Every structure is written in C-alpha cells, then in structure tokens.
A and B are shown apart, each in its own frame.
Chain A
Amino acid sequence: MPATKQSGSETRSDAIRFVLDGEVQTLRGVDPNTTVLNYLRETLRRTGTKEGCAEGDCGACTVVLGELDGDRVRFRAINSCIQFVPTLDGKELYTVESLRAPDGALHPVQRAMVECHGSQCGFCTPGFVMSLFALYKSEPVPTRSRINDVLAGNLCRCTGYRPIIDAAEKMYHSDSESEGGWTHRPYEASSEASSGESESVERLRGIQRHGTLAITGPDLQGGQRVYYAPKSLSDLAELVNQHPEARILAGGTDIGLWVTKHHMDLDAIIYLGDVEELQVLEANETHIEVGAAVTVTAAHHLIAEYYPDMGEMYRRFASPPIRNAATIGGNVANGSPIGDSMPGLIALGSSLILRKGADTRELPLDEFYLAYQQTALEPGEFVERVRIPVEPTDRIFKMYKISKRFDQDISAVCGAFGFRLNDGKMKDVRICYGGMAAIPKRAAECEKTLEDSSWSEVTVARGMEALDRDYEPIDDMRASAGYRSLVTRNLLRKLFLETSGRAGRTRVLRQDPETG
C-alpha cells in the first residue's frame, strides 16, 4: 500500500470491517475487549471454533486470517481466543465453517482428516483443520519436520497425532470428485493469483483504510471503551501522547490473557499492528532492524540467516498461531523474565529505538530492564524498533532453550552466549540467561571471568563457579532452583564443547537446516 500522509484524525474510521465467507462485515458498538472466539461463538453462534484453554496454548480455537500481500492473499493461523475483534479490521477471517465447498463437499483438508481417522473426540479437530488449511494455502507439500512445526500449537489428547500427520500429507493428494469452489485450491508457487484469490484481493482492497480506526464500545458496567488503530507512526506517537493511560497492543498474545484469565478491563487500547513504519524488517551491513509490529514469524527467517541458534529458538518459541500474531517488539517491551527473545538479543548487543512524540532515543536492551516487569519506558514512550547488530564473522553466537517439552513451552532456562576468539583468548564476552532472575540478566561475573581467558576446561570450571554468583534462581512449576543452576552451569560446558571443536553430537534435537 502506498503510504499516505493524511492525518489519522481527519480520515478516522469508526467501524470494524472484515471479510467473512466472502461478505464484508461492518461492526460498530462492539466491546473492544471482545475476543474473536467469543464473538464467533456468542454473537454469530458459529460454534465450530472451540475454546480449550483461552490462553493460546491448545489451538482448539485456531482460525485463519487472510491478509493483503501485494496482489496475493497471505494466510496465517492465529488463536482466536486471545485476539480482539477490532484487530480483524482490513482482513479476511476463515473459520472451520468456511471450508466446505459451495456444493457442501468437504474441503480436501477435512476429507483427509476423515479418511486418515484424524479425529476421535473431535474437539481439537476444527483447530487442526484450520492450521492445516493455512499450511495448505501457504506452502507446497511439507516434510514431516515441517508438519511438526506447523502443528506445534494444536494439542490433541486422543490420537497420538500419527493420523493427523498422515492427513497433512494426504490433503495435497486429494482425488475429490468435487473440486468446485475456490477454497479447494492449494498453495501455488506461481506469482499469479487464482480467480478466487483475485476476488479475495479485491474485497480486501475495498476495506483497507488510510486513517486511524477509532472505535468505541460498551464495557461490562454500562461505560465505554476506546480502541485506536493508527496507520502511521506520527499518528501512533500522537495517540500514545494523548492517551498515556492506554494499553499499547501488538500481537496481543500476552495482553489477551489479561482479559481472558485475569478478567481485567482494558478501557483504552492503541493497536500498533497497522502502523506501516513499524513493519520494517531489513538487514544492512551493521544491523538487522525489526519494527515493533513485525511478527515473530516474519522476523524468524531473516534472524535465522544470521544467527541459526536464534532461528532454532524462534522455531520452538510458543507455536505458529502465536508467532503469527506475536511481535518481537512486544516480547521485548513486555519484559517478562522468561521471554525467550531477550537472552539472545542481549547477548548479541541489541538495542531498542524508543519513541516519544517526534523524539527517539536508542537504548541498549540490557539497560531497558530495571526490575521485575519494570522497564525504562517513560510515559508516552513506546518501542519503535529492535536493532540487532550484524556481527563480524569471527564472532561466535550460541543459544539454548531448556524446557520440559521441546515445542511450545516456556523455558525453565534460556542461555545465550556471544564472544570472539583472539589468539585463543575470549574477547567481548556477552552472556545472558532468561529464567534465572527477575529480569533477563547478563552474567556479569561469568563474563568477567571469561574475558581474556583462554577457552579451556579450566576456564569453563571457573565460569561455572562465577555463574553461581551471578544468579539466585527460584523454584517454580517449571523447574527447581537446583536444576536451573545446574543447567545454567552445564550450558557453559555445552558451549565449550560446541565451540572448541572437540565433541561429536551434543544435542538430541536434530539440526534441521530446512526449519532452522
């Protein structure tokens, strides 16, 4: 879309518009805290989409969004349980009810699930179908490991998954008699959109706006709530200044839970997902720039090109529907001590570009976190970009995410390490662990111990002792303090093994270049 310089307030839109089953829906007077799932189930009575957890961890609520991407539509699965209705503005929404062909025939994804016995109790099934539908529309026939990644956000308690994997393979080889209807077309690599997709593109173009979406809707006590979705950075900055009490919303994968789990009232929301300047994602000689509205999915591959271990971490970060909504900027700004972005970004020496009105400042990420869930953001200030250094080729970077379950699990410990070897001596050592303190915290003692030391077993032993001084972890449901400390030390050994050219295999997960 060409950038426009119109003032957001002059061209404000007061209705949410999105496409459902080929029809433009225009909504006014919706509580902006309404989740897409509740809207579907309670207002539209489209009950095919299920609630399994209301926190984006089970996938029963998975729906697919279609978004304009040049002349094509880009499909992505998201968790409808924690996505607010106003964020649908300008998009197409597909639910499990959208898939049957006009003649009533099951979609190839659905038919493959039936033929492979992919459903037992059936409650998770609509979510699986929608994750598979997004895959079907976005990628050619996938490998088994790719299927694992695509379905990492969908829990099934009945099948043990084998028949669902079979269905993911079979859906591309449909021998249906009824191929009528656009929904049946799988992903095509060609740059040309099919006629059905072109219709979607036209419909989506018709509901794009240039100014701010500004809506009001009722809260639960007879009052009003406001929601703004500006299109430009200047409008965003102005709104944040005008409404310092407003909650800034990006992917909503944490904030959604404040509503569904903690029953909080978000009376003023400013959504930055539509701000074009915040979609910047580029790498130059010195930096990778990631705008605050860039999703993890979008940033994943670029970051992985430079830092494979960071890519591997993002492959396992939450799940595809979460990564399709969540932003790296949001992960960073949220400042959780167990957020997986921060250890790596800090070990890489990343910084944040913060904006307040027309003013910006750059702050090293490790100076951003002051205390538990307290950041250096000033009132009216927000994260505009994450700036990741492109490091010289002689610099070594490794990271490890340790959790109970490999996929879609919050880390017990996440360790990241960056350094250079100069004549066998360690230089510019930066080490950061998540899950070990109230903030993502650098291992200052360990860094000091390692700096200028030769990279040897002796140094590893000294570094491990130093790590004990760096952190005082806690016991919780994810791990005991004892395990956290032990793993924290052992990761330093693993780093040594992997960077000193001695060990054979050191990881049980296969390093898969295709997904890394």
Chain B
Amino acid sequence: MTETTSDPTTHGVLRGGSVGTPVPHESAHLHVSGEARYTDDIPEPVGTLHAAIGMSERAHARIKSIDLGPVWNTPGVVDVMTVDDLPGANDIGGPVGDDPIFADGLVQYVGQSIFAVAATSVELARRAARKAVIEYEELEPILDIDTALEKKSFVIPTEKMSRGDAPKAIDAAAHRLQGRFRFGGQDQFYLEGHIAFALPKEDGDMLVYSSSQHPGEVQFVVAHALGKTAKDVVVECRRMGGGFGGKETQPALFASIAALLASRTGRAVKIRPDRDTDMVMTGKRHGYRVDYDVGFDEQGQINGVEFEFASNCGMSADLSGPVNDRTMFHADNAYYLDNVSIISHRCKTHTVSNTAFRGFGGPQGMMAIEWVMDEIARYLKVDPLDVRTTNFYGIGERDVTPYHMKVEDNVLMDIVPELEKTSRYRKRRREIAGYNESSEWLKRGIALTPVKFGISFTATHYNQAGALLHIYSDGTLQLNHGGTEMGQGLFTKVAQVVAEELQIDISRIRCTPSDTARVPNASATAASSGSDLNGMAAQAAARTIKGRLTEFAAQHYEVPADEVVFANDAVRAGDQQVPFAELTHLAYMARVSLSSTGFYKTPKIHYDRATFSGRPFYYFAYGAAVSEVEIDVLTGEYRVLRVDILHDVGKSLNPAIDLGQIEGGFIQGMGWLTTEELWWNAKGELQTHAPSTYKIPVVSDMPEVFNVNLLRSGRNNEPTIHRSKAVGEPPLMLAISVLHALKDAVAGIGGHQLSPHLGAPATPEAVLMAIGDLNQRLESEKEPAGVA
C-alpha cells in the first residue's frame, strides 16, 4: 500500500480547506500572476474574426434606411448582418419579448444594436461599425420618470401591495409627513467588460464562451437566434471579471451576435465591446422617484405609510418586474409596518433597459423606508436611531411583513445594540454636535442604518441547483455545478463544502468551468443564492459518492458501515486506515461508480404573486452599519471618516471571503450613493460611459477607519449549507448609512434640526445644493438658535 504517486497539492497555496476556514480564493495564485484565463485570454483558432455592433444614434426613431456599403468597404470586413439576416428569433430572452437582438425598424435608445460586422481585427471591426449611414425619422423620446408617468409609459403594469388601511391610519396618526425624493441608477462597472467567443462545431452545433452569470439562459437565447434548440449549443464560463448582476441577462446579446456571425462565416467569432460601448449598450441599476405619506406617534412609531415608487426601467422589461417586486418586498427593511400600501410603477423610457444589479431592487426599497425614518426623527427632533429601534420588527410580536411572511430569525436585537456600543455611537453623536457648534466651515454627521434582506429568488422555480462531481481513481476530483464564478468566491466555498464532506484536502479538487453540458438548466448565479443552492447540490453529490465508498469500504474491510470514517484525507475502516487516494483506487478496481450528480431545491418557499403574499424568502440576512462623514460647507466635498459594520453571515463557510463580500459590497453601495452619477444629455446620450467620467470609489475613498465584523453568534435558523447565510448582496445596503450621515452633516448647519433634501448620488454638487436649500429654509424659519 503506497500513497498515491501524483501529488495533487501542486498549487502550493491551498491546504486543508474545510468549511469555516479562510482559504484563499481558488484562483488567487492565478489572479496575481496574470495566469487566470478570462474569455478574452483564450487562445484563438486561426482565422478568428472579431465583431462589433452598429448602434443607434437616436433615442427614439424609425429607421428609414441603412446604407451598409461603407461598412462592407472597410478593409478586413468579412460579414455584416442585420435583422433581415436572422435565421431564428430576434429576442434576447426577456419575459415580454421586447428586447430584440437587432432593431427591427424602430430604435428605442441611443446605443441599441442595429447591425453587426465581423472583420479580421478588433480595430477594423470597430471602425467599420461606425461607418453605416443610417437615416432616421425622429420620434419624441421619453427620457425621465416624470415624463413617463405623465404619459403613462410603462414596460409592465403597475403593482400594488397592501395590508391594513394605510390612509385611515395616516389620517388618525398624531403626526403626518409627506414628501418626494429621488435617487439615481448605477453602472455595474465590472472590470472585465462583456465578451463572447463563439466557435462553430460540426452539424451546426455551437460552442460559446460567454462572460455570463447565466450560461443556461445564454444557451437558450443563442439556440433560438440560430433557429436551433438547446441541445445544439454549449455555453461555458470559467470565470468573469466581475458581474454584479450586469451579466445576468445582458450577455445574451453579445453571445447571440458572436454565434450568428460564427454560424454564417464558419469561423470563430469574438465580440468584445469596449468600455464605452459596454456602458452605453447595457443595462444598469434602476433609478427611482419615491413619494411617501406617513403617519406616526410621539415616539416615532409608524401608524401607517404609503409609498409610491416609480422606477426608470428603460426601453424594455428585462428583469424590471422582479427588480421592482423586490423593491416592494424591501420597503419595510427592518421595520414592522402595520398599515401599509406600496405602489410600484415600472416606467418605460427611451434609455438603455435597466437590469439586475447587486441588491436587485432591494436597496431602492430600503432607501425609501430609511428616508422616512430619518424624516420622522428630524421632525420629532430625536436621534434617528431611536426612531429606527422603535419601529424594528419584534420577536414573537409585530413580526409579519407586508407580504404576510413571518419574520422568524430576527437578529437585529443582537446586532444593533452591540454595534451601537462598539462604535460608541451615542458618544460620538454628542461629540459631533459639539464639533459642529465650533466648526463653521466643516460639519460632521453620523448615522446607523440596519439591513434585513430576503434570501431566495422571488421566482420560486429558480431556487434549484445541480452539481456534477467526479472522483478519479487517483483520488483527485473535478467539481462542477450550475453556479458561476465572478469573484465572489463561490467555487472556493463549494469546494470547501465537498472537502468537508469527504474530509479531504481541498487541493484534491479542481473546480471546472460552468458549462451547460455538465449541469443542465442551471439558474442564474444571482440573488446571493450561489453557495446556498450550489453548495447543497454539491454536498448531495459528494454524499452520494461517499455512500458508495462507505459501502465499498465496509465490504472490503469487513466492518460495519458505521465504522467507516472519513477523516484527515484518509478513510478509517475499523482499525485500518487507508489514504483517500488508495480507497478511490480500490473502489475503481472493484467497479464502484465514482461520479454523481447532486440536486437541491430550496424548501418552504411559496408565494402568490397575484396577492403578494406567501413566503418568498427562505430566510433573511441581517447587518447594520454606522458611518461618520465630514463635509465642506463651501464646496460640498466630503470624506467618509469612519465606518463600523456588524454583519450576520450565519456560520461562515469562509470568513475571509465573507469579509471581502461585506467590505466590497459596502464600498460599492457607497459609490452608488455618493460619486457614481449617470448623466444623460437632452438627446438621451449617456455622457458618463467610461471611468474618466463615471467615478467609482478608489482606494482613498475607503474610510480611514473601517471596522468590519461578522456576528459571532451567527447561525442560520434554517438548515442551509452548514448553517451559513448568503452574503453577496445584503452588505451593499449597509452603505445607506453613508447617505444618512451626509444628510446628518448637512443638517449640522442648522443644529441637526431640519431635514436636508439630499437625494442620491450625493455628489459634492448635490451636497452643496442641499446646504443652500437648508440655509434658505433656516432663514425663512428665522430660528436664530439654529443658525451656526
């Protein structure tokens, strides 16, 4: 009996790797050496063509004529195609069928795809794509939410959710506030832009490498565009250079075009829009207008509240239905709303169709209720934290959401008091008040906001996953599942789950690319569900094989099955111990199957969309953050000075990865609410379409003091994978504390009494304008005590 001759631990980085340990990302050693292959790094076959898309220059117009002559005449051009050349469906897969691959006579946003060109180089293709002469008959564009509402322009019908009698409760309340505020969208700004690479195979089959969170959907869209079926198309994705929701539905357009051109030319075709094209052509987070009407008592407890949301969905439905639904599901955030009415308008405008982005409508819903909490507090002249705490969901009472789901796992009572204490919130608030009294030109503000985020796809059928696990006779494994790796560490976590199950070193496991040929019908890697779903599916696969190995070992070593124990990269059978690799070899020789699929579907969830009631979420993820900022009263410039976060990830599968998700999500959320401004001109042309004009946080924007902790007592009430909790999206919403800290700082001008009108993004400009507005209101109120 000898140890296996091939040493699987060749990475030199991954050791051990059981659940709960901070294993580095499975690709970390490849990331840092430039050896991690992204789609654009895959070696190209000889004769590979490069594609580019001819885009609409109008926001809303009929196409009168297209002259493609100059495109064809560009050196290097091999093929050009329009809607007239489509062999199959002109549809990139949205639920309403309103998202064409190529515009068919009508363009509805600047940047919409009209034709595609394939040429011998990237540069020649891009040059050619700019050369078409297109005549338009201009139509009136709708470019903002207000106009869309006025013209009743919607991508899908308005929805309403309600409980109790909000109008009556508001009327009867001691105090009432009404108002309107707005916040903008956000570009995902994944560092790797969209890309697809299509290779024609025999008999019309197509292999597509796609930077996609949902290869399964790309497979179907490509198949339908080609006039074929799912069996004819394979889609693969080893990794994405970031996704953030931006690669959930959006990759289908690029993958379809690459596959169509590959099919027509018989050559490999790659399409990689440059950053500007990517930002102009693809969907973003929805911007919103929110109207509210709230009635509350002396303590700030809400008696009744009405919300009217209106989001900018852009020119098509895409995922706007579920995104806006999730806004409605999160308009309560952490608060019990007895009498509540939530209306949600899904506005159609002639701008790019908005789509998924980390949080998926949830952040927008939370923004609304957090705004209301702040308004109530300023009105009552009490600490906003007290109003928030007063309204928190109870435990065993006041615990039913507006959609009639009972909150059974509320840990905010563990999180918020602890964070309040460790961040010294109360003391700092007093210090800030003192600082602001003496500092005329710089003001500080602080805010604590909570997060309660529902975990599960609201489309119940999405809550399923498959895995495929192979164990080779040398004791090494290939692990595959329907999830995709976009940097969130999913592959690492799932590998840890399998390593834990078989008690083997994680270096035995090779994570293989997401591939529609290995796991069929996989859901999008989205809704923070990646490790919940795929971890369970992979665990199931591992358990199946473990069962077979156990049975085999029991037989082979003539011990009862319960005396077969997997531990320390080996297997003990009674008093004998064999290395894992030896057992797998023996099992192979004895003709034991060492491959298995695994499957999982989330239990308990059900939901009736017609009545907006049920249990759409398996559980909730919680967290809270305290942010402190300082603003410059003369310029509106500001710094985030300190942030303290306490977040619940259940029992962490990998604390290093979870910490990375919390910190990264927070900073991304902070970008949304501060410097990331999408700006369209009067013609509907996006002017912020590259990092030179669209400003995501840089390293110096990270708070000087950034204390991030996982809730130590965290444990999922539900039997999720090792009692962990989803972590992808929830932390983004912790950044709402930054906006409220900025509001608090602006309020500092008037002794923290009046509520500033500061929406998002709170750019320095927005802050300065809010200061100006507040100063005017202070003057008109003539309250000398409040003037600094």
Interface assignment of A214: CB less than 8 Å from any CB of chain B: no
Contact A114 B29 (CB under 8 A): yes
Question: CB < 8 Å: which of A148, A160, A407 contacts B667?
Answer: A160
CA distance A123 to B487 in the complex (A): 9
Given contacts A117-B657, A158-B660, A408-B698, contact A506 B192 (CB under 8 A): no
CA distance A110 to B28 in the complex (A): 9
Contact B663 A160 (CB under 8 A): yes
A34 CB → nearest B CB, Å: 10
Enumerate chain B residues within 8 angstroms of A117, measured Cβ to Cβ: 22, 24-25, 28, 656-657, 659-660
Interface assignment of A467: CB less than 8 Å from any CB of chain B: no
Enumerate chain B residues within 8 angstroms of A444, measured Cβ to Cβ: none
Interface assignment of B441: CB less than 8 Å from any CB of chain A: yes
Enumerate chain A residues within 8 angstroms of B764, measured Cβ to Cβ: 402-404, 412
Contact A164 B699 (CB under 8 A): yes
Segment 18-46 of B: residues with Cβ below 8 Å from A: 22, 24-25, 27-38, 40-41, 43
Question: CB < 8 Å: which of B241, B679, B692 contacts A55?
Answer: B692
Enumerate chain B residues within 8 angstroms of A491, measured Cβ to Cβ: 634-635
Contact B679 A477 (CB under 8 A): yes
CA distance A483 to B127 in the complex (A): 38
Fill in one digit per residue for A256-268: 1 if any B CB lies within 8 Å of its CB, else 0. Answer: 0000110100000
On chain B, the number of residues with a Cβ less than 8 Å from chain A's Cβ atoms is 95
Fill in one digit per residue for B307-318: 1 if any A CB lies within 8 Å of its CB, else 0. Answer: 000000000000
Segment 632-652 of B: residues with Cβ below 8 Å from A: 632, 634-639
Segment 210-259 of B: residues with Cβ below 8 Å from A: 239-244
Fill in one digit per residue for A84-108: 1 if any B CB lies within 8 Å of its CB, else 0. Answer: 0000000000011101100000100
Contact A159 B664 (CB under 8 A): yes
Question: CB < 8 Å: which of A58, A406, A480, A505 contacts B442?
Answer: A505
Enumerate chain A residues within 8 angstroms of B30, measured Cβ to Cβ: 122
Interface assignment of A120: CB less than 8 Å from any CB of chain B: yes
Contact A162 B487 (CB under 8 A): no
On chain A, the number of residues with a Cβ less than 8 Å from chain B's Cβ atoms is 94
Contact B699 A123 (CB under 8 A): no
CA distance A151 to B276 in the complex (A): 23
CA distance A45 to B636 in the complex (A): 47
Interface assignment of B523: CB less than 8 Å from any CB of chain A: no
Contact B126 A263 (CB under 8 A): yes
Query: Quick check: which of B107-115, B367-375, B557-565, B765-773 contacts chain A, the rest being far away?
Result: B765-773
Contact B33 A220 (CB under 8 A): no
Contact B700 A504 (CB under 8 A): no
Fill in one digit per residue for A39-77: 1 if any B CB lies within 8 Å of its CB, else 0. Answer: 001000111111111110110100000000000000000
Question: CB < 8 Å: which of B28, B121, B192, B692 contacts A50?
Answer: B192
Query: Quick check: which of A124-132, A235-243, A270-278 contacts chain B, the rest being far away?
Result: A124-132
Enumerate chain B residues within 8 angstroms of A406, measured Cβ to Cβ: 637, 700-701
Interface assignment of A358: CB less than 8 Å from any CB of chain B: no
Given contacts A113-B28, A160-B663, contact A155 B675 (CB under 8 A): no
B467 CB → nearest A CB, Å: 22
Fill in one digit per residue for A465-506: 1 if any B CB lies within 8 Å of its CB, else 0. Answer: 000000000001111101100110011011001000001111
Contact A494 B635 (CB under 8 A): yes
Kindly report which residue of chain B lies nearest to residue A479, judged by CB atoms: B765
Interface assignment of A154: CB less than 8 Å from any CB of chain B: yes
Interface assignment of A405: CB less than 8 Å from any CB of chain B: yes
Kindly report which residue of chain B lies nearest to residue A259, judged by CB atoms: B123
Enumerate chain B residues within 8 angstroms of A113, measured Cβ to Cβ: 28, 31-32
Given contacts A113-B28, A505-B439, contact A410 B34 (CB under 8 A): no
Contact B768 A483 (CB under 8 A): yes
CA distance A117 to B701 in the complex (A): 19
Interface assignment of A189: CB less than 8 Å from any CB of chain B: no
Contact B32 A162 (CB under 8 A): no
CA distance A404 to B428 in the complex (A): 27
Contact A407 B43 (CB under 8 A): no
Interface assignment of A193: CB less than 8 Å from any CB of chain B: no
Contact A405 B698 (CB under 8 A): yes
Enumerate chain B residues within 8 angstroms of A380, measured Cβ to Cβ: none
Interface assignment of B13: CB less than 8 Å from any CB of chain A: yes
A59 CB → nearest B CB, Å: 9
Kindly report which residue of chain A lies nearest to residue B630, judged by CB atoms: A508
Contact B191 A156 (CB under 8 A): yes
Contact A129 B275 (CB under 8 A): no
Enumerate chain B residues within 8 angstroms of A58, measured Cβ to Cβ: 191, 275, 691
Given contacts A164-B699, A486-B772, contact A122 B687 (CB under 8 A): no
Interface assignment of B149: CB less than 8 Å from any CB of chain A: no
CA distance A152 to B696 in the complex (A): 12
Contact A154 B32 (CB under 8 A): no
Given contacts A117-B24, A121-B242, contact A494 B695 (CB under 8 A): no
Enumerate chain B residues within 8 angstroms of A120, measured Cβ to Cβ: 25, 487-489, 660, 664
Contact B632 A508 (CB under 8 A): yes
Enumerate chain A residues within 8 angstroms of B35, measured Cβ to Cβ: 48, 97
Enumerate chain B residues within 8 angstroms of A480, measured Cβ to Cβ: 765
Contact B660 A121 (CB under 8 A): no
Given contacts A402-B764, A404-B677, contact A125 B276 (CB under 8 A): no
Question: CB < 8 Å: which of A53, A121, A504 contacts B487?
Answer: A121
CA distance A412 to B708 in the complex (A): 34
A406 CB → nearest B CB, Å: 6
Fill in one digit per residue for A382-407: 1 if any B CB lies within 8 Å of its CB, else 0. Answer: 00000000000000000010111111
With most chain B CB atoms within 10 A of its CB, the pick from A95, A99, A124, A147 is A124
Interface assignment of A4: CB less than 8 Å from any CB of chain B: no
CA distance A164 to B28 in the complex (A): 13
Enumerate chain A residues within 8 angstroms of B472, measured Cβ to Cβ: none
Enumerate chain B residues within 8 angstroms of A124, measured Cβ to Cβ: 191, 241
Enumerate chain B residues within 8 angstroms of A409, measured Cβ to Cβ: 695
Interface assignment of A449: CB less than 8 Å from any CB of chain B: no
Contact B691 A57 (CB under 8 A): yes
With most chain A CB atoms within 10 A of its CB, the pick from B30, B191, B439, B699 is B699
Question: CB < 8 Å: which of B43, B442, B663, B693 contacts A478?
Answer: B693
Given contacts A120-B660, A505-B442, contact A47 B637 (CB under 8 A): no
CA distance A49 to B580 in the complex (A): 39
Fill in one digit per residue for A148-190: 1 if any B CB lies within 8 Å of its CB, else 0. Answer: 1101101111111111110000000000000000000000000
With most chain A CB atoms within 10 A of its CB, the pick from B34, B38, B665 is B34
Interface assignment of A2: CB less than 8 Å from any CB of chain B: no
Contact A487 B36 (CB under 8 A): no
Given contacts A123-B191, A483-B765, contact A55 B275 (CB under 8 A): yes
CA distance A419 to B659 in the complex (A): 51
Given contacts A55-B692, A407-B700, A505-B441, contact A121 B241 (CB under 8 A): yes
Enumerate chain B residues within 8 angstroms of A402, measured Cβ to Cβ: 635, 637, 764
Given contacts A47-B40, A122-B241, A497-B441, contact A487 B75 (CB under 8 A): no
Segment 679-705 of B: residues with Cβ below 8 Å from A: 679, 687-688, 690-693, 695-702
CA distance A337 to B473 in the complex (A): 68
Interface assignment of B668: CB less than 8 Å from any CB of chain A: yes
Enumerate chain B residues within 8 angstroms of A199, measured Cβ to Cβ: none
Contact A504 B439 (CB under 8 A): yes
CA distance A47 to B272 in the complex (A): 15
Interface assignment of A513: CB less than 8 Å from any CB of chain B: no
Contact A110 B33 (CB under 8 A): yes
Interface assignment of B274: CB less than 8 Å from any CB of chain A: yes
Kindly report which residue of chain A lies nearest to residue B193, judged by CB atoms: A52
Kindly report which residue of chain A lies nearest to residue B126, judged by CB atoms: A263
Interface assignment of B666: CB less than 8 Å from any CB of chain A: yes
Contact B38 A263 (CB under 8 A): no
A319 CB → nearest B CB, Å: 8
CA distance A2 to B4 in the complex (A): 63
Enumerate chain B residues within 8 angstroms of A486, measured Cβ to Cβ: 768, 772
Contact B34 A49 (CB under 8 A): yes
Fill in one digit per residue for B182-207: 1 if any A CB lies within 8 Å of its CB, else 0. Answer: 00000011111100000000000000
- Pairs across A and B, CB under 8 Å, 10 listed: A123-B38, A123-B487, A148-B699, A151-B699, A222-B75, A404-B695, A407-B698, A507-B632, A508-B639, A509-B637
4 A-B pairs with least C-beta separation: A48-B34, A121-B487, A123-B241, A122-B31
